[in-house]
Amino acid sequence: MNKSELIDAIAAHADISKAAAGRALDGALEAVKGALEQGDSVTLVGFGTFHVARRAARTGRNPRTGKNIKIKAAKVPKFRPGKGLKEALN
């Protein structure tokens, strides 16, 4: 499912226009992104939690040349599914 299909599904489920659904989705995504940028986590009960994790610096290998390269430490977004989402899939 891509973003436009998700907007269509939201519009149909909430009985609102596609434009309103698109604005709502964009607003929700910006809110999640803003919270993660501040280092907060976002928990949607029954769905899951978005959080920021630290990835340590490490040594990698350039597949083209075979040389070792240093990969910097980074903050990465992660998602932990909630109980309701896990149960829906199994």
pLDDT digits (tens, 9 = 90+) for 33-63: 999 999 999 999 999 999 999 999 999 999 9
Residues 45 and 83 in one domain: yes
What spatial distance separates the first Cα and last Cα of the chain, rounded to whole Å?
A: 20
Number of structural domains, the chain?
2
Give dist(CA 24, CA 18) in Å, integer: 10
CA torsion sign, 81 to 86 to 89 to 90? positive
Instruction: Specify whether the CB–CB gap between 75 and 33 falls below 8 A.
Output: no
Residues 4 and 25 in one domain: yes
Domain that holds residue 28: 1-39
- Read off the CATH number of the domain in which 46 is found: 4.10.520.10
Give dist(CA 73, CA 55) in Å, integer: 6
pLDDT tier at 26, thresholds 50, 70, 90? very high
Residues 34 and 48 in one domain: no
* pLDDT at site 25: 96
Give dist(CA 70, CA 84) in Å, integer: 40
